[in-house]
Structure 1
Amino acid sequence: MVAAGEEVWLHVATCGEGPDVLVLSGGPGCVNYLSDETLAPHGFRAWFPDPRGVGRSGGGPHDMAQAILDLETIRHELGIAAWMVIGHSWGSDLAVRYALEQPARVKAVIGVAGHGLHRDREWSDAYEAGKSGEPSIAIDFVPEIHDSLWTSFPDWIHQPTLWRRLADTAVPMRFIGAGHDIRPNWPLRQLAALVPRGEFEFVPDVVHDFWHTDGQLWRATITDACTRYL
């Protein structure tokens, strides 16, 4: 547990040995469903925080700015100078913001099946049309946390300097699309093209939550991505 002020404690699981990697799951408002040593990148020390107000972490509804502060509190309390950040789904978007706001603390971003920095109507229409066919996975979820984080998302993506900072960032970012994801991956391709050290990778024949359906492939994919930035 990590103290995050105001009598709030954040739960952080860990496994493995090696360079430090922060692992952020999606949602927002979900427990860290990636907190499993069989899903962690091989040869690295992985850290899996439950977001504020979710799972075993205390606190309540908060915005993205507070989420970034919590990640920095965790890093500082663990005594880690800098780490790579893996994010799945919403976690990918949070990882990008973290890298832009704390570039000295983020060695690289690996964003898997992210939403992207937009509120595009055609993208949303494609998601709504396909979501009934997605496999259902039981994940602990706190609606109030989801709502507060998602409400703050437009405030960030509407910042006038956001795209300038993305175009100027020195943090390498690798975005990975899932072949059978109902979410269009063009926002990830755009980010990979914009970021100076950006890359895009496509994993065919896997769904959005392939950490759940293809755990070995998930682990191999993120291990390969992390190894590129050693």
Structure 2
Amino acid sequence: MQASRVEVDGVELHVGVTGEGPDVVVLSGGPGCVHYLERDEIAPAGYRCWYPEPRGVGRSGGGPHTMERAVDDLEAIRAAMGVERWTVLGHSWGSDLAVRYAVDHPEAVEGVVGLCGRGPQRDRHWSEAYEAGRPDEPVVDIAFDPGVHASLGASFTEWIHTPDLWRGLADCDVPMRFIAAEHDIRPSWPLAQLAALVRHGSFETVPGVPHDFWSTHPDVWRATVARACSIP
């Protein structure tokens, strides 16, 4: 794994890179977590993968920010690295950010691969199911920044309440593949709805794995994301 520093509006952002082939930018979750997916052993083979650590987190400078700022950071990194178009692969919160990025900048995105995301909703029943399952969820210790977590969470809520949210999603021509984990405590129906809403969407469930199967089942993760990135 190699690392670069990209300056965006006076702030240096950490970007890891590994592999060779078509470009894939990998977004981790949280929001506000360090980039827990930045590991050679789980990178999909046959791709050049980019790992931007979020602004204000871990090895990146800056602080609390909005989803709009996060999208702008991704665009600045893409331009700085000389990438014309890339697939956007996001896990958990990263899946939701990937969707917004594709809607805002479809010209830059070959496709979206969203794993174990929440989807653009704050549904009470979804939240109740999530909270009920938390005591039984496998614990994966991931560092995060509380300030960044809070600011991006608030910005997410603002985004899903915008009047043109569903129009923008339905009109988006970017292929989007949504993947759920069978034993995720996060209900998967929002991902299935997204797959049915967008023009070129698909949905599937990986059997026998929890939310963080990049950690618990790394071989399954690597095979799953490599296959998903290869689907035209």
Q: Measure, in 1, the Cα distance between the counterparts of 2:177 and 2:48.
A: 19
Q: Measure, in 2, the Cα distance between the counterparts of 1:141 and 1:167.
A: 33
How far is the alpha carbon of 1:5 from its aligned partner?
A: 1.4
Q: Measure, in 1, the Cα distance between the counterparts of 2:48 and 2:6.
A: 17
Q: Which residue of 1 aligns with 2:51?
A: 48
Secondary structure, counterpart of 1:2 in structure 2: strand
Q: Measure, in 1, the Cα distance between the counterparts of 2:135 and 2:152.
A: 24
2:76 is the alignment partner of 1:83: no
Partner of residue 4 from structure 1, selected from 8, 13, 17? 8
Q: Which residue of 2 aligns with 1:196?
A: 199
Q: Measure, in 2, the Cα distance between the counterparts of 1:168 and 1:63.
A: 24
Q: Which residue of 2 aligns with 1:156?
A: 159
2:113 is the alignment partner of 1:110: yes
Q: Measure, in 2, the Cα distance between the counterparts of 1:202 and 1:111.
A: 12
Q: Measure, in 2, the Cα distance between the counterparts of 1:54 and 1:90.
A: 15
2:13 is the alignment partner of 1:16: no
Secondary structure, counterpart of 1:174 in structure 2: strand
For structure 2, the 5+ residue unaligned runs are: none
Q: Measure, in 2, the Cα distance between the counterparts of 1:136 and 1:213.
A: 10
In the superposition, the TM-score normalised over structure 2's length comes to 0.97
Q: Measure, in 2, the Cα distance between the counterparts of 1:198 and 1:162.
A: 17
In the superposition, the TM-score normalised over structure 1's length comes to 0.98
Q: Measure, in 1, the Cα distance between the counterparts of 2:72 and 2:178.
A: 24
Amino acid paired to 1:13: G
Q: Measure, in 2, the Cα distance between the counterparts of 1:110 and 1:32.
A: 17
Q: Measure, in 1, the Cα distance between the counterparts of 2:198 and 2:140.
A: 33
Amino acid paired to 1:145: V
* Mean CA deviation greater in 118-127 or 154-163: 154-163
Number of matched residues?
228
* Mean CA deviation greater in 115-124 or 153-162: 153-162
Secondary structure, counterpart of 2:179 in structure 1: strand
Partner of residue 209 from structure 2, selected from 195, 206, 210? 206
For structure 1, the 5+ residue unaligned runs are: none
The CA deviation string for residues 163-203 of structure 1, in whole angstroms up to 9 with x for no partner, is 11111111000000100001100000000001110000110
2:20 is the alignment partner of 1:37: no
How far is the alpha carbon of 1:204 from its aligned partner?
A: 0.8
Q: Output aligned runs, 1:180-191, within 5 Å.
A: 180-191=183-194
How far is the alpha carbon of 1:79 from its aligned partner?
A: 0.6
How far is the alpha carbon of 1:39 from its aligned partner?
A: 1.0
Q: Which residue of 1 aligns with 2:71?
A: 68
Moved over 2 A (4+): none
